[in-house]
Structure 1
């Protein structure tokens, strides 16, 4: 996903100051010895090429270790795994989500206990009403099938873990591509690798991390489409001018493979959870606004009308219908079987469509009715929950989600203190999280002042995942939903750290301060992750250590 030269060699190369200008200014020492050394290292072509991949791959490997190590702990269904894991198991066996007997009908053991214990076949073929599309659960189910009979916790978490690892790599290469700097990309990927919420959401089989991964794929495709379109428009203008023709309206560009890919990626996100629709809407509108700007830059006189009247409908056709088809395909199992929820709704007495829509196949009418019921359920979900978090408080991380806790007395389960605990808390690394919130605000201000499209793009990614939730402040929602837009926040933080770092052309004192403070920040972030890691992975620790992590009463 990288185009153009990597600027890391330029940022750190030790060159003499440019000639001309004020001699007193030109005599100021610039860069550091570190810059000079790194410039010599990257002066060889193969070393520069190696560095471009070594950084992103190194942080991806770090992310893999933190996510895969002892993935099967705890040996229990954590938080909403009780829904998604069991749904995934029946989905891969029935083609739709079957039902499980209530706990009161399973004897002395609860349904979850029986499932974890290896009894995975006591579901029924009766259809279960579900709140989310099936794609993410299919992925979870494939991991379970790969690990055998479904009772291995690592099996029902492996798909989410691999997607979390892939997200680290995507963050690194997208940031590298966006800022043409392997260093910035490596920092962004490294922050994603060690952040607590990202680790938790890669080790617990929930759907939001999957949504974030597919949306991030769409974001990367959007960047590639922008660069693709810019080259195509520039070439078109040159051809028209050489042919002596006007360039008033500009072309309608139908061959937009990356825009098509963006629509497909957002369709996959929506096929996991309906919140993927927000990314599709924001990304599609952004593509039209980008076309307007690029046409104006290319000198097309009627750039506004051209983009709206000619390119706007094209962009719509290349994204929204594509996403719709992908979403529909995610329901293939429901269509190919007869037992799914509402699969035979009309046959059971439901009302068929009349008039101009009477031709629509019965299966599609049944499916549409099911979608309306899912919509009604999600909009009307106001069930009280002790860890519900108002979206207006998400950026402040007021109420992170406690997903698992098991306490032990001295001598139980290896506890050597008076009291021990094993916890999985969806608390992001506080150093990284609050710094990234500040970084996004900084980028918004810089976008207004400098009109750098990259800053606006990052802010748009955050807004796509966050702003629509403000309409549902009264709904039961959770802090961990922020994992879907956290990648853009960390890319933004890496961009701000890159600005603070400066370049080898900066005066030596300023450059040293930049390296020092960025190094200190990254060091503190790493230490904070080491301190919090047991609280993200259910490692048994003394209760006093557990309690020391609850910095605010609302985190309890």
Structure 2
């Protein structure tokens, strides 16, 4: 019940005034239209005018949904898109339920943001065996500013974060399940050098499906898929070694790796491919070449072969597009600056608001994509602590969190150095849950064990409680500029904690 209460609190923060601002915010302009095209045509479609045309955005806000080109041949309106379709299908589910309006296109983001808080509380509890620490994890995620903003915006990154966290949670559950099966075998069967076959592992299959869904939202999900595949193999080897088997590594390679390949390679590939169903079953998708694929008088093998060839060519074009994405943006930033929150992204800041809105000469209404500084700087210290903890004790929890954080953050350094790619702070959102887990694990050390002296526990509880309170106050102070509340410009400026948070000082 306690994690549900924490998730409810986070859900209230995300759903209240979800339709505000009544505007197309930042890159919503791409994804809400693509989602609507998927609902209408099954594939993305070319828009009237430029994809980021403010006139078309204004038509959407006023309920005019005539935003797509009409072509004599449907394939002439095919639209090249840079990301797989699953995240846009999820946005489209909200549009289907509640209409093509700000609440509708942001509903799915708010829902998965809320569910991720529940998952965080449950996985933190499983890793620490403490309901208190589990709820602390859920609460801290609920109070992160970047998580809040992306949960209230129809961008893809919150869906990527959700599926990555869900996949990790499934792997943690699989770790417990596999170790329990090994103990049962050890207690009831003759001992062998390699140990037993564990059979079907439903939690690991679920993890593979979730990580495949992450890749079907954004290609960067593959960073976590690779890291977690290595992680689950290490856990399998460690479990067999802890059981005292003579050949733990050979046993894991012989019995666990084949199933691991099915769960962490074939299953994600199947999910990724299934997300493109709309492209395969219609003739209107980019590069579909439907006419060429159907010229063989109904030969199903030729149809499948040619469709697969066209699809692979499309994926190659997407990868090439991302490799050359280096155009300047005023809020772009480098990955080494992200944990320090040096350059967040202004999602929404309308000019020339009437003074009557705030009772002052100048008014501001902002959505700033920034994390809660107290949380992020605390997480940096916690991650350093986890590295030292893992080096000293080889605790699996510390190693898993550090690997997940590194796997989601460090690959961007390559793109910054080798590719000079345009990147933004919100690319960090998939690793924010692991930053929270780092704090939770360190909080467990600070609290001490249950049999610790009462004074020791009291001091630890005071320290952890004080940190949570500081995060809460920091979040409360920033909340108006995370959710487009109307402020005086002086009140807005007071919340810009670093000069680098804005392009220039307001005039």
What does residue 220 of structure 1 align with?
A: 169
Task: Report the TM-score when normalising by structure 2.
Answer: 0.92
Q: Deviations over 1:283-307 (max 9, x none)?
A: 1111111111111111211112222
RMSD: 2.1
- How far 1:515 sits from its partner (Å)? 2.3
- How far 1:461 sits from its partner (Å)? 2.0
SS at match of 1:169: helix
Please identify, of 455-464 and 203-212, the stretch whose mean Cα deviation from structure 2 is larger: 455-464
What does residue 298 of structure 2 align with?
A: none
What does residue 457 of structure 1 align with?
A: 400
Please identify, of 273-282 and 324-333, the stretch whose mean Cα deviation from structure 2 is larger: 273-282
SS at match of 2:198: coil
What does residue 87 of structure 1 align with?
A: 34
Q: Which whole-Å CA distance do the structure 2 matches of 1:359 and 1:144 have between them? A: 33
What does residue 382 of structure 2 align with?
A: 439
Matched, 1:184 2:128: no
Q: Which whole-Å CA distance do the structure 2 matches of 1:502 and 1:286 have between them? A: 27
Matched, 1:429 2:372: yes
- How far 1:251 sits from its partner (Å)? 3.2
- How far 1:159 sits from its partner (Å)? 0.6
Matched, 1:364 2:312: no
Contact 2:30 2:52 in 1 (8 A): no
- How far 1:253 sits from its partner (Å)? 3.2
Matched, 1:307 2:256: no
The unaligned stretches of length 5 or more in structure 2 are: 294-300, 503-507
Residues 346, 236 of structure 1: CA spacing in aligned structure 2 closer, same or farther, 3 A cutoff? farther
The unaligned stretches of length 5 or more in structure 1 are: 1-52, 349-356
Residues 538, 104 of structure 1: CA spacing in aligned structure 2 closer, same or farther, 3 A cutoff? closer
Contact 1:403 1:425 in 2 (8 A): yes
Matched, 1:198 2:141: no
Contact 1:103 1:110 in 2 (8 A): no
Contact 2:29 2:51 in 1 (8 A): no
Instruction: Report matched runs for 1:309-328 at 5 Å.
Output: 309-328=254-273
Please identify, of 55-64 and 400-409, the stretch whose mean Cα deviation from structure 2 is larger: 400-409
- Tell me which of 183, 195, 206 is aligned to 1:261: 206
Matched, 1:233 2:150: no
SS at match of 2:232: helix
What does residue 21 of structure 1 align with?
A: none
- How far 1:501 sits from its partner (Å)? 2.4
What does residue 4 of structure 1 align with?
A: none
Instruction: Report matched runs for 1:164-179 at 5 Å.
Output: 164-179=113-128
Task: Report the TM-score when normalising by structure 1.
Answer: 0.84
Residues 220, 386 of structure 1: CA spacing in aligned structure 2 closer, same or farther, 3 A cutoff? same
SS at match of 1:119: coil
SS at match of 1:541: strand
- Tell me which of 367, 373, 381 is aligned to 2:325: 381
Q: Deviations over 1:34-78 (max 9, x none)?
A: xxxxxxxxxxxxxxxxxxx2x211211111111001111111111
Q: Which whole-Å CA distance do the structure 2 matches of 1:302 and 1:60 have between them? A: 44
- Tell me which of 461, 471, 477 is aligned to 1:525: 471
Residues 305, 104 of structure 1: CA spacing in aligned structure 2 closer, same or farther, 3 A cutoff? closer
What does residue 25 of structure 2 align with?
A: 78
Contact 1:252 1:314 in 2 (8 A): no
Contact 1:67 1:199 in 2 (8 A): yes
Residues 303, 553 of structure 1: CA spacing in aligned structure 2 closer, same or farther, 3 A cutoff? same
Residues 278, 551 of structure 1: CA spacing in aligned structure 2 closer, same or farther, 3 A cutoff? same
Q: Which whole-Å CA distance do the structure 2 matches of 1:185 and 1:369 have between them? A: 45
Q: Which whole-Å CA distance do the structure 1 matches of 2:290 and 2:400 have between them? A: 44
- How far 1:379 sits from its partner (Å)? 1.9
Matched, 1:99 2:39: no
Contact 1:237 1:247 in 2 (8 A): no
Q: Which whole-Å CA distance do the structure 2 matches of 1:487 and 1:450 have between them? A: 23
Q: Which whole-Å CA distance do the structure 2 matches of 1:154 and 1:552 have between them? A: 31
SS at match of 1:544: helix
- How far 1:522 sits from its partner (Å)? 1.5
Residues 374, 178 of structure 1: CA spacing in aligned structure 2 closer, same or farther, 3 A cutoff? same
- Tell me which of 315, 332, 340 is aligned to 1:396: 340
Contact 1:81 1:204 in 2 (8 A): yes
Matched, 1:139 2:83: no
- How far 1:469 sits from its partner (Å)? 1.8
- How far 1:234 sits from its partner (Å)? 2.4
- How far 1:236 sits from its partner (Å)? 2.8
- How far 1:262 sits from its partner (Å)? 0.8
Q: Which whole-Å CA distance do the structure 2 matches of 1:113 and 1:459 have between them? A: 44
Residues 298, 503 of structure 1: CA spacing in aligned structure 2 closer, same or farther, 3 A cutoff? closer
Instruction: Report matched runs for 1:406-555 at 5 Å.
Output: 406-408=350-352, 411-412=355-356, 414-473=357-416, 474-555=420-501
Contact 2:283 2:290 in 1 (8 A): no
- How far 1:331 sits from its partner (Å)? 0.5
What does residue 155 of structure 1 align with?
A: 104
Q: Which whole-Å CA distance do the structure 2 matches of 1:427 and 1:330 have between them? A: 30
- How far 1:471 sits from its partner (Å)? 1.6
SS at match of 1:402: strand
Q: Which whole-Å CA distance do the structure 2 matches of 1:105 and 1:253 have between them? A: 52
Q: Which whole-Å CA distance do the structure 1 matches of 2:266 and 2:119 have between them? A: 25
The runs of at least 4 aligned residues of structure 1 exceeding 6 Å deviation read none
